[in-house]
Structure 1
Amino acid sequence: MDWFGDHVWQTWLGVAFVLGVLELFSLDLILIMLAMGALVGMVAALLGVPVVLQVILAAVAALAALALARPSIARRMHGGPELALGHGKLVGQRGVVTQQVTALNAGRIKLAGEIWSAVPLDETVTIEPGEPVEVIEIRGATAVVYPISTPGV
């Protein structure tokens, strides 16, 4: 026990190091924030602060890092650019019918500057040219669409 009393800052550094290594396995940014608190405890030990106050400072620093820094860092790490690729990025977009769309005869729509073949989601619906539609799904080279506005409204 005397060794810890004589080497408090080294103990804090060891705790920070172990927490940092464990963070490499978890990657949830919690242990690294605790390691930051341990580094604050180490600095306090180097300045000759009593051990009880070192523990309090380390705990406050770790909690502050968890509450203030971790959420924004995690958001930046886990959030990224839109990864919809190919025709998948067309789902949810709106187009305009250029040729009548029915369940029996695929029509045509203008979508994202291109002409696509289209069928209605509801097989009982006929969508006339000029009507706006929303793309619900892409099946091969055919867009499955649903009219945005109802006739007569």
Structure 2
Amino acid sequence: MPEWLQGNEWAAWLGVALILGVVEAATVDFVFLMLAGGALAAGATALIGFGFGVQVIVGVIVSIGLLGVVRPIAKRHLSKSTDHPAIGTARYIGQVGRAVEPIGEQHGLLIIDGDTWTARIAPGDTPIPADAPGRITAVDGAVLVVTAASPVQDLPRRELEND
């Protein structure tokens, strides 16, 4: 082993971990991040004073453990949070608002998230009286299509507190 490295193996492992971290930033697949975790564990082992063989064994074991346990959890969490969230007016579908005025097949107003929207019910649906909750089932241009909702079960707590 080179003379300058003796007693400073931890610095070499830290350098390896940093390089693996940079590669991870380019790939974003959590493989190199897990390997960097193994390198950091090996560096900690070196800092404690164990020999090079033990450092390598600890680094390999930690890397395999991270790849087998932590990486699948991280990948699942990341993919769950990026599953095409609804944007624009589509994000209102399924939410419950409060009728500002009666909502019928031709006209009505619904307030949701502090914004007042033009609303209507689907043809043949039951009209919604003023101050009653309405669940958004579709968006037709700038008009929300709503259906009657149960006041206690469907309204968010903030809507109930505002009444």
TM-score normalised by the chain length of structure 2: 0.57
Q: 1:58 to 1:148 in 2, by over 3 A?
A: same
Q: 1:41 to 1:48 in 2, by over 3 A?
A: same
Number of aligned positions between the proteins: 137
Residue 98 (structure 1) aligned to one of 101, 126, 137 = 101
Q: From the CA coordinates, give the structure whose radius of gyration is larger.
A: 1
CA deviation vs aligned residue, 1:66-114 (integer Å, no higher than 9, x gap)? 5469957x959x859xx87765554312223623412xx2x21331355
Partners of 1:145 and 1:58 in 2: CA distance: 58
TM-score normalised by the chain length of structure 1: 0.59
Q: 1:48 to 1:97 in 2, by over 3 A?
A: closer
Q: 1:116 to 1:63 in 2, by over 3 A?
A: same
Q: What CA RMSD, in Å, does the superposition of the two structures yield over aligned residues?
A: 4.1
Partner of 1:21: 22
Structure 1: 5+ residue runs without aligned partners? none
Identity of aligned residues (%): 26
Structure 2: 5+ residue runs without aligned partners? 151-163
